[in-house]
Structure 1
């Protein structure tokens, strides 16, 4: 059950990131994603939407700080590339932001 809840939280994170990128592209306005390692939560903001989510209790950001990512129009490019480690109950995951047009993925490590 724990694994399913973690997967659901990570899937929701993916959906929210894709949504924020799409908002930057369709509205031609910057959108942001804030990862909060202290609260194990994240929030997003665009011209149309503000969202705030907390991970399931077994997921934790390894880095205990806030990290801000911006998605810029017209292509949804991300402001920086970085790998963020998320610790689960029995597994670790890497949220990888890549160079070029806001590409990202979540891998089990």
Structure 2
């Protein structure tokens, strides 16, 4: 009988610890999914610029809590909500850049993304429009 009680107590302790760790795990996964989606959306903007032979802009707006991909010809192409705990900090890229019809970025530089898991850096290289998101 006492063995059963010990097993039950251990099980309850482990489940209580697991429930306390779940919100942090969930927030971390949400941040990771957002950064992955951001990476895919920037790649989409680059491919859209090439396929439609036009300038495609990426603009982040912390005030409204969205980032937008748009063209002056077709206006809004894509708009996504930025989670409340994620902030874009302007770096050398500023708040916006664009891809031309060859897929090249308008300027090279960085933009910092502040999340609950730490800071990440969006890096746009000079040349063929290569970019990456890396942890600082």
State TM-score, norm by structure 1: 0.87
Contact map agreement 1:24 1:76 (CA 8 A) in 2: yes
Contact 2:45–2:57, Cα closer than 8 Å, also in 1: yes
Question: How many residue pairs get matched?
Answer: 107
Q: CA deviation at 1:45?
A: 1.2
Partner residue, 1:67: 95
Given that 1:34 and 1:42 are in contact with CA atoms closer than 8 Å, whether structure 2 keeps it comes out as yes
Whether 2:69 is the aligned partner of 1:35: answer no
User: Cα RMSD over matched residues?
Assistant: 2.0
Q: Corresponding residue for 1:98? A: 125
Q: Which has the higher strand share?
A: 1
Residue segments in structure 2 that go unaligned for 5+ positions in a row: 1-25
SS of 2:36's equivalent?
A: helix
Q: Which has the higher helix share?
A: 2
Alignment of 1:1-109 (within 5 A): 1-46=26-71, 47=74, 50-63=77-90, 67-73=95-101, 75-109=102-136
Q: Cα deviations across residues 56-109 of structure 1 (Å, max 9, x unaligned)?
A: 22211123xx62211001x20000111111111131100111101111000011
Q: Which runs of 5+ in 1 are unaligned?
A: none
Give the number of the structure whose alpha-carbon radius of gyration is greater.
Answer: 2
- Following TM superposition, by how much is the alpha carbon of 1:38 offset from its aligned partner in structure 2, in angstroms? 3.1
Give the structure-2-normalised TM-score. Answer: 0.71
Q: Following the alignment from structure 1 to structure 2, what is the Cα–Cα distance between the partners of residues 95 and 6?
A: 14
